[in-house]
Chains A and B, each alone.
Chain A
Amino acid sequence: MTTEATGTRRLNTAKATVEAIAREMERDENVFVMGEDVGPYGGIFSSTTGLLERFGPERIIDTPISETGFIGAAIGAATEGMRPIVELMFVDFFGVCMDQIYNHMAKIHYESGGNVKVPLVLTTAVGGGYSDGAQHSQCLWGTFAHLPGMKVVVPSNPADAAGLMTAAIRDDNPVVFMYHKGIQGLAWMKKNRRSIGPVPEGDHVVEIGKAAVPRSGKDVTIVTLSLSVHHALDVAEELAGEGVDVEVIDLRSIVPMDTQAIIDSVTKTGHLVIVDEDYQSFGLSGEIAARIAEHDPTILKTPVGRVANPDLPIPYARTLEYTVLPTPERIKEAVLKQVGR
């Protein structure tokens, strides 16, 4: 896929994503946005700020709190040839509408033998770190990736969010677009400094299914995604001063997942740490380890390291929450263990 960017500006992730949506809405009459508080509020996590003013209430539709109803409606509109962007405010709310997502959105194309397409983007906020408790802090991308028929996109920075959103809207498949609250660049939440960054102008597309390597290194590979990419980069910078050269892979999407990029990196470094803000068991980190094992376990010089949520509901109290999150401290410890320190 091509990127025909004409220059860059610095935007936060939310603004970059909204720009991409607006550009596609101007290109294609069939694109519209639907969800809770996407209108005058502009999205609880600023995912639709300003769109109502530009495109009006016919195309930026505030819905009742009725996720089964409106996500199902987005699916129906998509089967009629429209290209809805529909927002599930927090991914944690999937429990009230998962039938529409995994039994309908993700299966209609297959069940119809390819005769019915569902070109839909399901956007949803993920992640913790601000004491929102067990029902508003999860990532759950492994849950969606486990179920066939939907692409799962998880950007970590403004430019990728814009490029992946553009690709998602143009994709003829359902795409779940999971943005971490901590990278949106919200004024009211702690954010990583890289949640504001350069974004290409013009038609900017990031192909879904290609990982990025934001930092090359020869000693240890960290495979991660979303907000944890920034923690990994911070750790890598710190460890560079201690003589450990860390390579960071930002998966950007997990369905499809760029397995080759992981294999190439681990073949070079021989050491793998997987950092995943989702639950540890039966999820992304186990899947990556399995893919390495299926490819060639001997490329590993030491056992795989995992830094993930240790299978606990996410606690409220700050001290407890930061015990289960994949913090830079935990990542650093895991990397050092790989090199015997």
Chain B
Amino acid sequence: MDSNTQRELYQQMVTIRTYEETILREYHADKKPVFDIGAGLIPGEMHLAAGQEPVAAGVCAHAIDGDSVTATHRPHHFALAHGVEINAMTAEIFGRVDGLGRGRGGHMHLFDPKAKFSCSGIIGEGLPVAVGQALAMKRRGTNNVAIAVAGEGAANQGAFHESLNLAALWKLPVIFVVEDNDWGISVPRSQSTSVPSNAVRAAAYGIPGVRVEDNAVESVYEEAGKAFERARNGGGPSLLEVSTLRLWGHFEGDAQGYRSDLEGVPGRDPIPTYEQTLRDAGVIDDSFVEQTRSEAVKRVEAAVEFAKSSPEPDPSTAGDYVFA
């Protein structure tokens, strides 16, 4: 892999991590000493994607203008990697009028039509929408691709299987990305899934299925590249599962008492590992790392400032946008 791409993948992951750490800080800032999920500048459920950066960075690096992403309840990493406008995204998470949804969506419901990004809070149910986007792309004769993201828990939902069947049947340009972070909230994959890898399920629909085992951004990038090439050239859908890592809880406030693997988790963090690899290869050095981090912090803090300075929605506008 060329070193420019390596540096970009690293920068993307650092930006995402910085974003999630900053949202974490802001989310908890005013929920102390007593945690109240509905309190503070960022209320509600908060699902952060620390540890899953390689999936979003490695997949979205292949996206071109007009490609869409349909993400999950844990959407920030894919949103950032797919070029969602960071200020409007952050304002939406803060529930402000300058947010992507003018404060009507929240962190699980981010819609950026310019970047062609959307997400859904219902497990597996974003996938059919991606199938329809791909149908429109194909009908219009574009070479665009719909990226449909799901967790490993979603692979047991009917919507997942219906979507794979339709996309395969109609040979649509869809890439199904399964982020296997091993946990459906508190239930481990071993207790939810009848097969050792969701990639094998692709065979049921006659499409390629691949599993990346190491949560390494370059492995994801490489396998995703094949799926993109196939989709853009009319070869139809593919399934790419990545064994990834939920570094933090299912949502903030989750004490993770159920989690047997916690002790080993910090050592599996994909970012320091990749950073070391690139240092060893002479692709990045101290000053590049420092600059990458400080640029990420600057960009994310500016987005938080933007969000905080945006007004809260006027209560009298609650009824706006129910209908077009």
- Which residues of chain A have a CB within 8 Å of any CB of chain B? 32, 58, 63-64, 66, 68-82, 84, 96, 99-100, 103-104, 107-117, 119, 148-149, 151, 171-173
Complex contact B101–A78 (CB within 8 A):
no
Residues of B within 8 A of A82 (CB): 136, 139
Complex contact A69–B321 (CB within 8 A):
no
Complex contact B100–A109 (CB within 8 A):
no
- Expressed in whole angstroms, the Cα–Cα distance for A171 and B323 within the complex equals 10
Closest partner residue, chain B, to A105 (CB atom): B129
Q: Is B254 an interface residue (CB 8 A)?
A: no
Q: Can you spell out 8 A-B residue pairs with CB atoms less than 8 angstroms apart?
A: A72-B131, A76-B70, A76-B146, A79-B129, A80-B132, A99-B125, A112-B105, A117-B324
Complex contact B128–A69 (CB within 8 A):
yes
A69-B128, A110-B101, A149-B323 known; 11 other A-B pairs, CB under 8 Å? Answer: A64-B166, A75-B132, A78-B132, A79-B113, A104-B122, A111-B101, A112-B101, A112-B118, A112-B321, A113-B103, A113-B105
Complex contact B125–A104 (CB within 8 A):
yes
Q: Is B315 an interface residue (CB 8 A)?
A: no
Q: Given known contacts A76-B133, A79-B129, A111-B104, is B122 in contact with A68 (CB within 8 Å)?
A: no
Interface string of B148-187 (1 = CB under 8 A from A): 0000000000110011011001000000000000000000
- Expressed in whole angstroms, the Cα–Cα distance for A179 and B99 within the complex equals 39
Q: Given known contacts A76-B133, A99-B122, is B165 in contact with A113 (CB within 8 Å)?
A: no
Complex contact A72–B101 (CB within 8 A):
no
Complex contact B120–A66 (CB within 8 A):
no
Closest partner residue, chain B, to A75 (CB atom): B129
Complex contact A100–B322 (CB within 8 A):
no
Complex contact B101–A113 (CB within 8 A):
yes
B304 CB to closest chain A CB (Å) equals: 20
Partner of B130, one of A76, A100, A103, A107: A76
**Residues of B91-129 whose CB lies within 8 A of A:** 99-106, 109, 111-113, 118, 120, 122, 125, 127-129
- Expressed in whole angstroms, the Cα–Cα distance for A148 and B318 within the complex equals 13
- Between A and B, how many residue pairs show CB distances below 8 Å? 144
- Expressed in whole angstroms, the Cα–Cα distance for A165 and B297 within the complex equals 53
Question: What band does the interface of chain B fall in when counting residues whose beta carbon is under 8 Å from A?
Answer: 35 or more
Complex contact B135–A66 (CB within 8 A):
no
Residues of B within 8 A of A32 (CB): 139
Complex contact B135–A72 (CB within 8 A):
no
Residues of B within 8 A of A111 (CB): 101, 104-106, 109, 111
Residues of B within 8 A of A70 (CB): 128, 166
- Expressed in whole angstroms, the Cα–Cα distance for A151 and B323 within the complex equals 9
Complex contact B127–A112 (CB within 8 A):
no
Complex contact B122–A103 (CB within 8 A):
yes
- Expressed in whole angstroms, the Cα–Cα distance for A148 and B321 within the complex equals 11
Complex contact A71–B324 (CB within 8 A):
no
B281 CB to closest chain A CB (Å) equals: 41
Residues of B within 8 A of A104 (CB): 120, 122, 125, 129
- Expressed in whole angstroms, the Cα–Cα distance for A128 and B282 within the complex equals 74
Residues of A within 8 A of B2 (CB): none
The 3 nearest A-B residue pairs measured at CB: A72-B128, A76-B132, A69-B162
Partner of A77, one of B118, B122, B132, B169: B132
**Residues of B195-243 whose CB lies within 8 A of A:** none
Interface centre among A79, A110, A113, by most chain B C-beta atoms within 10 angstroms, is A113
Residues of B within 8 A of A173 (CB): 323-324
- Expressed in whole angstroms, the Cα–Cα distance for A96 and B111 within the complex equals 26
Residues of A within 8 A of B135 (CB): 73, 76-77
Interface centre among A68, A80, A117, A119, by most chain B C-beta atoms within 10 angstroms, is A80
Q: Given known contacts A80-B137, A173-B323, is B166 in contact with A73 (CB within 8 Å)?
A: yes
Q: Given known contacts A108-B118, A149-B323, is B104 in contact with A72 (CB within 8 Å)?
A: no
Q: Given known contacts A76-B133, A81-B136, A115-B113, is B103 in contact with A68 (CB within 8 Å)?
A: no
Complex contact A69–B131 (CB within 8 A):
yes
- Expressed in whole angstroms, the Cα–Cα distance for A190 and B120 within the complex equals 44
Residues of A within 8 A of B118 (CB): 79, 108, 112, 116
- Expressed in whole angstroms, the Cα–Cα distance for A100 and B70 within the complex equals 14
Residues of B within 8 A of A75 (CB): 128-129, 132
Complex contact B133–A113 (CB within 8 A):
no
- Expressed in whole angstroms, the Cα–Cα distance for A113 and B128 within the complex equals 22
Q: Is B280 an interface residue (CB 8 A)?
A: no
Complex contact A76–B125 (CB within 8 A):
no
Residues of B within 8 A of A114 (CB): 102, 320-321, 324
Residues of B within 8 A of A71 (CB): 128
- Expressed in whole angstroms, the Cα–Cα distance for A151 and B120 within the complex equals 22
Partner of B322, one of A64, A117, A119, A149: A149
Complex contact A100–B105 (CB within 8 A):
no
Q: Given known contacts A77-B132, A104-B129, A173-B324, is B139 in contact with A72 (CB within 8 Å)?
A: no
- Expressed in whole angstroms, the Cα–Cα distance for A78 and B131 within the complex equals 12
Partner of B111, one of A74, A115, A148, A171: A115
Q: Given known contacts A69-B128, A72-B125, A75-B129, is B323 in contact with A115 (CB within 8 Å)?
A: no
Residues of B within 8 A of A119 (CB): 324
Closest partner residue, chain A, to B105 (CB atom): A111
A13 CB to closest chain B CB (Å) equals: 26
Interface centre among B99, B103, B118, B146, by most chain A C-beta atoms within 10 angstroms, is B118
Partner of A72, one of B113, B127, B322: B127
Closest partner residue, chain B, to A108 (CB atom): B111
- Expressed in whole angstroms, the Cα–Cα distance for A97 and B127 within the complex equals 13
Closest partner residue, chain B, to A82 (CB atom): B136
A5 CB to closest chain B CB (Å) equals: 27
